[in-house]
């Protein structure tokens, strides 16, 4: 009989239930899209922000802390062994380290002016101990640099890239020759980085190692890692990981906080000190937090609007059915039974709409992902239970005014006019 | 004989308007009572009070030996479900359920649905063949008979009918009255609120209301003069 009544109501008031389903579909579509984007946006924004440079710098421990004291006593301590750079890809968060490059610098004089030579990897192919091969270097790390000419190759001997200021001072362009330390080098490109690098001259790392005599050494490493925004735990751990209890330590260690990544780098390269480039990592965190907050607010706003829409429709439905409700009460139905009947009708409509809305939401998330982040937003399994619970709560919340009217309906009034 | 319902000094006051004033009335088990009176005399209010659809402002109601004057709405619902069969002038059937399903609806909220018994009830009011029809496919008289079948399906102790023939033609009126006669003969107490002397004449007793008070009572069939409406 319960099912007969639900079926009958659907047949008789199809329009109203379709409207409830459409309202639920719109709400769920927006909520599913926002939540999917919110849950996946971290990696996407990180990948976007990665284009704006390294967020971690690794330096020799004593160079970064006590270089004044120890530098002259132990020159070895001013460098990181080039072979140790590979160890970056052996840490727990190796896959989050997207690009990295070692650097070695030396001062030189050209035409009476002082210039800094910077040796680095451009697009270096590395064979990892795990058997994997990675390609990394400043082509990925400094992807915003604008070049006139071509990037250097790592095995290109006798070629350089000039920063735009250096090129201007030396009055050179791509294709010119420049004499460095008594040898002619071909200017393969002139780059504009928009920073102090524009005053430098870039060469393959091996070339600077040879010129400076620091074979197999690097002064520092810049790397770009995908990170999770910092929170209280991360900040506490960043100050002193040993202050954490075991559970907190595991949580922190197994989360891609920038502090846990730097900690693991220091574990992998014992004589190095890894530091977050705070402006970038903080910006990433702030942007992520703001985007996620925006998505949450939009989801909440959408669901409130959905609840209001459902509220209007269900209230109108209950008012239209007041005589029928009065009759059912008169013949002995309890308020709870009638409430369940109405809620079942509304919930079924909302669930039908919700299913359509959920899959539409995944599509919308995918479209937005492509349009905004130029990447596919992966559907998150987590959103299904969240959206289902939100839909049920929204329908219940939206039905409150109608249920109130239903409970106040007096058979004596509605049946006798 | 024991009373199915007893009103003791019942008043119903809406804002400052007294719909019923200090009404006392006893209805015996198996009695057929007609309540008559002009519009606004308090007939429907009395029906609502006796039918447990409303509560009195003052006074007490004893239903089947139990004082229900201060009963909770939930308890009044239970009394309606278990002991009263309600019949309305406007029929009030659920429009998307068939005649049979409308009868079964009362079973559903009472206890268990029994299609055979519901069909029997429809047979009793002469509508077995129309059991699968929706209310809109039935005439007014047929709809009222479905209401009667619904009212009697749970074997109520009291059948309460508000103008049951008010919207019916002469033929259907006669059919409905015959059904009431049969029910009354089987021992059901019947209270019929009516304007119609034809209907009232079959009652054991007629109570005439005026301005919310019992203006007259006539035992053993209707003998007092016609009421000017």
Q: Residue B189: which of B155, B147, B142 has the closest Cα?
A: B155
* CB < 8 Å to A328, chain B: 94, 105, 109
C-beta of residue A202 within 8 angstroms of C-beta of residue A118:
yes
User: How many CB pairs below 8 A link A and B?
Assistant: 70
pTM of the prediction?
0.65
Instruction: Report pLDDT digits (tens) over A362-398.
Output: 898 888 888 877 777 778 888 889 989 999 999 999 9
What is residue B154's three-state secondary structure? coil
What is the predicted pLDDT for the residue at A122?
93
Both structure tokens of B150: 């619904």
DSSP of B178-200, one letter per residue?
Answer: HHHHHHHHTT-EEEEE-S-HHHH
Q: Do A298 and A205 fall into the same domain?
A: no
Question: How many whole angstroms from its chain centre is CA B118?
Answer: 20
Q: Is the reported ipTM for this assembly greater than 0.90?
A: no
Give the pairing type, strands A201-204 and A159-163.
Answer: antiparallel
B70 in a structural domain = no
Q: Residue B34: which of B225, B216, B229 has the closest Cα?
A: B216
Contacts of A292-295 with C-beta under 8 Å, sequence gap 24+, read: A292/A38, A292/A41, A292/A42, A295/A34, A295/A35, A295/A37, A295/A38, A295/A41
The verdict on a CB contact (< 8 Å) between B96 and A9 is: yes
Instruction: Report pLDDT digits (tens) over B18-55.
Output: 888 898 998 988 899 999 988 888 888 899 899 898 88
Q: Do A127 and A202 fall into the same domain?
A: yes
Q: Do A42 and A78 fall into the same domain?
A: no
Nearest chain B Cα distance for residue A334, angstroms: 7
Nearest chain A Cα distance for residue B183, angstroms: 19
The verdict on a CB contact (< 8 Å) between A1 and B77 is: no
* Nearest beta carbon to residue A415 from set B81, B92, B97: B92
| Backbone phi, psi, residue A229, to 5° | -55, 140
For testing contact with chain A, the best of B88, B92, B135, B148 (most A CBs within 10 A): B92
Residue A164 predicted with pLDDT over 90 = yes
What is residue B210's three-state secondary structure? strand
Q: Where are the beta strands (DSSP E) in chain B?
A: 3-14, 17-28, 32-36, 58-63, 66-67, 84-87, 158-162, 189-193, 205-210, 213-219
What is residue B158's three-state secondary structure? strand
CA dihedral B163, B169, B171, B174 (to 10 degrees): 10
Q: Do A164 and A109 fall into the same domain?
A: yes
C-beta of residue B18 within 8 angstroms of C-beta of residue B208:
no
B68 in a structural domain = no
The verdict on a CB contact (< 8 Å) between B77 and A332 is: yes
pLDDT band at A150 (very low <50, low <70, confident <90, very high): very high
Burial A350-373 (b: 16+ CB within 10 A, else e): bbbbbbbbbebbbebbbebbeeeb
Q: Do A188 and A324 fall into the same domain?
A: no
Tally of CB atoms within 10 A around A398 = 27
Between A78-92, A267-281, B33-47, the lowest mean confidence (pLDDT) is in A267-281
B12 in a structural domain = no
Tally of CB atoms within 10 A around B221 = 14
| Structural Rg of chain B based on CA atoms | 17
Nearest chain B Cα distance for residue A349, angstroms: 18
Which residues of chain A have a Cβ shorter than 8 Å from any chain B Cβ? Answer: 1-2, 4-5, 8-9, 11-12, 323-324, 327-335, 337, 410-412, 415-417
Residue B229 predicted with pLDDT over 80 = no
Question: What is the number of structural domains in chain B?
Answer: 1
Measured CA to CA in angstroms, residue B8 lies from A374, B13, B20, B61, B78 at distances of 81, 15, 12, 6, 22
**Closest residue in A to B101 (Cα–Cα):** A1
What is the predicted pLDDT for the residue at A48?
62
How far is Cα B45 from Cα B21, in angstroms, rounded to an integer? 11
Average confidence score pLDDT of chain A:
85
- Residue-range definition of the domain harbouring residue B122: 32-53+82-219
Whose tokens are 């970056």? That residue is A88
Instruction: Report pLDDT digits (tens) over A172-227.
Output: 999 989 999 888 999 999 999 888 899 999 999 999 999 999 899 999 999 988 77
| Length of chain A, in residues | 417
How far is Cα A284 from Cα A232, in angstroms, rounded to an integer? 16
| Percent of chain A with pLDDT strictly greater than 90 | 35
- Residue-range definition of the domain harbouring residue A230: 55-276
What is the predicted pLDDT for the residue at A192?
92
Residue A1 predicted with pLDDT over 90 = no
How far is Cα B44 from Cα A414, in angstroms, rounded to an integer? 13
Residue B223 predicted with pLDDT over 80 = no
Beta bridge partners, A103, equal: A120, A220
Nearest chain B Cα distance for residue A12, angstroms: 7
Burial of A28 (0-12, 13-18, 19+ CB in 10 A): buried
Domain end point (choices A276, A298, A330): A276
B118 in a structural domain = yes
How far is Cα B9 from Cα A257, in angstroms, rounded to an integer? 80
Question: What is the number of structural domains in chain A?
Answer: 2
Give the pairing type, strands A113-120 and A97-110.
Answer: antiparallel
B60 in a structural domain = no
CB within 8 A of A217, min separation 6: which ones?
A79, A80, A81, A82, A104, A209
CB within 8 A of A291, min separation 6: which ones?
A38, A41, A45
Domain end point (choices A258, A276, A294): A276
| Structural Rg of chain A based on CA atoms | 32
Burial of A23 (0-12, 13-18, 19+ CB in 10 A): buried
* CB < 8 Å to B54, chain A: 410, 412
Domain end point (choices A276, A310, A336): A276
What is the predicted pLDDT for the residue at A290?
80
C-beta of residue A294 within 8 angstroms of C-beta of residue A300:
no
Whose tokens are 């119903």? That residue is B12
pLDDT band at B222 (very low <50, low <70, confident <90, very high): very low
* Nearest beta carbon to residue B81 from set A8, A332, A415: A332
* CB < 8 Å to B101, chain A: 1, 4
Instruction: Report pLDDT digits (tens) over B58-99.
Output: 999 999 888 988 888 889 999 999 899 988 888 789 888 999
| DSSP structural state of residue A257 | B
C-beta of residue A416 within 8 angstroms of C-beta of residue B48:
yes
Nearest chain A Cα distance for residue B35, angstroms: 16
B104 in a structural domain = yes
∠ CA B32-B40-B19, nearest 5°, is 85
Instruction: Report pLDDT digits (tens) over A300-359.
Output: 898 899 999 999 999 998 998 888 899 999 988 888 989 999 999 999 999 999 999 999
Question: How many whole angstroms from its chain centre is CA B151?
Answer: 9
Nearest chain B Cα distance for residue A332, angstroms: 4
- Supply the CATH number for residue B120's domain: 3.40.50.300
Instruction: Report pLDDT digits (tens) over B139-192.
Output: 888 888 899 889 888 888 899 998 888 777 788 788 888 888 888 888 889 999
Instruction: Report pLDDT digits (tens) over B92-138.
Output: 898 889 999 999 998 998 888 888 989 998 988 888 888 899 999 99
What is residue A156's three-state secondary structure? coil
* CB < 8 Å to A334, chain B: 74, 77
How far is Cα A136 from Cα A120, in angstroms, rounded to an integer? 11
The verdict on a CB contact (< 8 Å) between B109 and A332 is: yes
Both structure tokens of B5: 């319902």
What is residue B161's three-state secondary structure? strand
What is the predicted pLDDT for the residue at B226?
44
C-beta of residue B208 within 8 angstroms of C-beta of residue B219:
no
Instruction: Report pLDDT digits (tens) over A20-77.
Output: 999 999 999 999 988 888 877 766 666 666 556 668 889 987 665 555 455 444 455 5
């Amino acid at each position: 009989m319960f099912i007969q009544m639900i079926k009958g109501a659907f047949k008789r008031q199809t329009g109203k239930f379709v409207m409830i389903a459409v309202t639920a579909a719109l709400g769920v579509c927006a909520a599913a899209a926002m939540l999917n984007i919110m849950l996946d946006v971290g990696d996407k924004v990180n990948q976007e922000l990665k284009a704006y440079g390294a967020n971690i710098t690794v330096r020799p421990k004593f160079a970064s802390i006590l270089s004044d004291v120890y530098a002259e006593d132990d020159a070895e301590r001013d460098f990181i062994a080039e072979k140790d750079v590979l160890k970056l890809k052996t840490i727990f968060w190796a896959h989050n380290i997207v690009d990295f490059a070692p650097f070695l610098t030396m001062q030189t004089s050209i035409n009476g002016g002082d210039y800094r030579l910077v040796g680095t990897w451009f697009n270096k192919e590395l064979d990892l101990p795990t058997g994997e091969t990675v390609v990394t270097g400043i082509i990925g790390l400094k992807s915003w640099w604008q070049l006139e000419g071509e990037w250097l190759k790592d095995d290109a001997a006798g070629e350089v890239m000039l920063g735009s200021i250096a090129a201007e001072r030396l009055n050179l362009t791509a294709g010119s020759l420049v004499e460095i330390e008594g040898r002619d080098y071909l200017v393969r490109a002139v780059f504009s980085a928009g920073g102090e690098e524009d005053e430098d001259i870039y060469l393959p790392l091996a070339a600077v190692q040879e010129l400076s005599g620091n074979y197999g050494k690097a002064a520092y490493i810049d790397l770009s890692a995908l990170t999770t925004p910092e929170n209280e735990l991360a900040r506490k751990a960043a100050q002193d990981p040993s202050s954490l209890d075991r559970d907190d330590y595991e949580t922190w260690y197994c989360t891609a906080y920038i502090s846990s990544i730097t900690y693991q780098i220091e574990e992998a390269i014992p004589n190095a000190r890894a530091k977050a480039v705070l402006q970038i990592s903080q910006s990433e965190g702030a942007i992520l937090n703001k985007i996620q907050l925006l998505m949450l607010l939009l989801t909440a706003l959408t669901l409130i609007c959905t609840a209001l829409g459902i509220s209007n429709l269900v209230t109108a439905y209950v008012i239209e059915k007041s005589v029928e409700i009065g009759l059912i009460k008169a013949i002995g139905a309890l308020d709870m039974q009638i409430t369940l009947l109405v809620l079942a009708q509304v919930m079924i409509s909302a669930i039908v709409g919700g299913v359509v809305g959920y899959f539409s939401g995944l599509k919308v998330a995918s479209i937005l992902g492509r349009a905004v982040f130029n990447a596919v937003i992966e559907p998150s399994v987590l959103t299904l239970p969240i959206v289902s619970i939100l839909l049920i709560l929204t329908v219940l919340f939206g039905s409150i005014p109608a249920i109130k009217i239903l409970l106040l309906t007096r058979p004596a009034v509605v049946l006798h006019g | 004989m024991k009373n199915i319902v007893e009103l003791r000094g019942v008043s119903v006051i809406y804002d400052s308007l007294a719909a019923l004033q200090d009404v006392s009335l006893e209805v015996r088990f198996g009695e057929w009572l007609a309540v008559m009176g002009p519009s606004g005399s308090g007939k429907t209010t009395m029906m609502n009070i006796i039918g447990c659809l409303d509560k009195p402002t003052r006074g007490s109601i004893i239903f089947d030996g139990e004082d229900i004057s201060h009963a909770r709405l939930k308890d009044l619902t239970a009394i309606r479900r278990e002991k009263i069969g309600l019949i309305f002038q406007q029929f009030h059937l659920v429009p998307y359920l068939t005649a049979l399903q409308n009868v079964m609806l009362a079973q559903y909220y009472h206890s268990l649905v029994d299609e055979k018994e519901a069909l029997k009830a429809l047979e009793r009011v002469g509508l077995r063949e129309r059991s699968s029809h929706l209310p809109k496919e039935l005439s007014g008289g047929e709809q009222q008979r479905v209401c009667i079948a619904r009212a009697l399906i749970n074997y109520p102790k009291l059948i309460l009918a508000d103008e049951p023939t008010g919207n019916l033609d002469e033929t259907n009126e006669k059919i409905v009255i015959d059904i009431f006669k049969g029910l009354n003969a089987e021992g059901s107490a019947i209270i019929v609120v009516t304007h119609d002397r034809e209907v009232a004449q079959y009652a054991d007793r007629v109570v005439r209301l005026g301005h919310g008070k019992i203006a007259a009572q006539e035992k053993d069939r209707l003998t007092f003069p016609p009421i000017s409406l």
